[in-house]
Structure 1
């Protein structure tokens, strides 16, 4: 009687902080922040909660690590390419801003985390890169903090609102249907009380979120460059 050769068991990849963070990101993307528990994460990783606590002390640290992982990847992708290196400061800021916008769109929970922990590294990565581009733009030192903060607040505000809108209306209807319904309600508002809102209702109906985001960003950049023209280092 022939004996059956026993196949060696497949060896599992060792549990690491990186694996835990990657699993947390996947769980956050599919089920949201409320579903991120160490028990759910342990089931996904086929381990016990205690093994996870060996690498991460709690949910706050895990959320920060997950946010930092996404933002670090995004900033690396948007600042290390040859085209970005050769870009103007304005183009570099647009690339960075759009990278954050798209990251929040793909991972809606990131917007909340960035706003919740302004002193943590994920937000500081974005602020640091914005600040460097502001310096390269030639903005005087006393105005650099205000310029970088205005850009950061715009990026987080619009990106977070866009993600919130997507979560809200996609549960029951498509984006097109949602915008059509909202635009129709705007068009039917009282003409004496809401003349402007009625007038732009069709623009709401057909607008593109990313295009409008970049248009608003350009308004801020134009204001910064107009008010703070580059300093000429050459003595007169």
Structure 2
């Protein structure tokens, strides 16, 4: 199973979920397609197990993080660790916690995040929503950062900053009375840093949690 999952993750890293077929995986393993069915029932299970396999090292890092006196600070470090992992492997986002009955590493990460909320004066409902919001910010931001570049960026005709500047110019041409918010933030959008945008969203979430818990 270990070698099957390692090769599955390698295929996913190279070309995403569409590249992960039983035939392609069997070729990499040097065996037949039928042999893979000894380990997984179908592609969905293979994807879920591969995602969880990739989460294993992330859980190891999180488990070794030292605990500080502030659970909010510890949540921040854990969130950034998870964010970095998904940015490196954007395909992970689609299968994160999709099947926790077999995704033990992923469930372990969820538990580690949740345990920090046990250090705060919150209700069970507040804890659940706090961790859900945190995971949403991390996974959603990582997905945005890992999106496939436009074709002209892939072709090398424009770089990211040039592309953003062009979009910003289109926004500036919009009617300011119809789009007052867009005109307000367009200079911030033009050339913005995606990681800084994630960290800002994370801080908004953690600040709200800190106020709610009175930490």
What TM-score bracket applies, with the shorter chain setting the length? Answer: 0.7 to 0.9
Match of 1:4 in 2: none
1:197-232 Cα deviation digits (max 9, x unpaired): 1221221122221222111111111111112225xx
Match of 2:197 among 205, 208, 212: 212
Task: Give the C-alpha shift of residue 24 in structure 1.
Answer: 0.7
8 Å contact kept, 1:104–1:159: yes
Q: How far does residue 162 in structure 1 lie from its aligned partner after superposition?
A: 2.5
Q: Given the two structures, how large is their TM-score scaled by the length of structure 2?
A: 0.86
Report 1 or 2 for greater relative contact order, CA contacts < 8 Å, sequence distance ≥ 6.
2
**Pair 1:46–1:174, CA change in 2 (3 A):** farther
2:51 aligned residue (46, 67, 73): 67
Matched, 1:179 2:161: no
Using the TM superposition, give the Cα deviation of residue 48 of structure 1 relative to its aligned residue in structure 2, in angstroms: 1.5
Would you say 1:104 and 2:89 are equivalent positions? no
Runs of 4+ aligned residues of structure 1 deviating over 6 Å after TM superposition are: none
Determine if the alignment matches structure 1 residue 85 to structure 2 residue 70: no
Counterpart contact for 2:71–2:117, Cα < 8 Å? yes
1:87, 1:80 → 2: CA distance?
16
Q: What pairs with 1:1-236 in structure 2 (closer than 5 Å)?
A: 17-81=1-65, 84-86=66-68, 88-114=70-96, 116-117=98-99, 121=103, 123-164=106-147, 167-169=148-150, 171-172=154-155, 173-230=158-215
TM-score (ref. length: structure 1): 0.79
Cα offset, 1:144, TM superposition: 1.3
| Number of residues of Structure 1 aligned to a counterpart in Structure 2 | 210
Mark the runs of 5 or more structure 1 residues left unpaired by the alignment.
1-16, 231-236
- Provide structure 2 residue ranges, at least 5 long, that are not aligned to the other structure: none
Q: Provide the alpha-carbon RMSD of the alignment.
A: 2.2
Change (3 A) 1:116 1:179: farther
Shift of 1:56: 2.5
CA–CA separation in structure 2 for the residues paired with 1:223 and 1:161? 23
Cα distance in 2 for residues equivalent to 1:117 and 1:179? 37
- Contact conserved, 1:104 with 1:111, CA < 8 A, in 2? yes
Alpha-carbon distance in 1 for matches of 2:24, 2:86? 23
CA contact (8 A) 1:42 1:49 kept: yes
Range with bigger deviation, 53-62 or 104-113: 53-62
With over 3 angstroms needed to count, the CA separation of the structure-2 counterparts of 1:89 and 1:71, relative to structure 1, is same
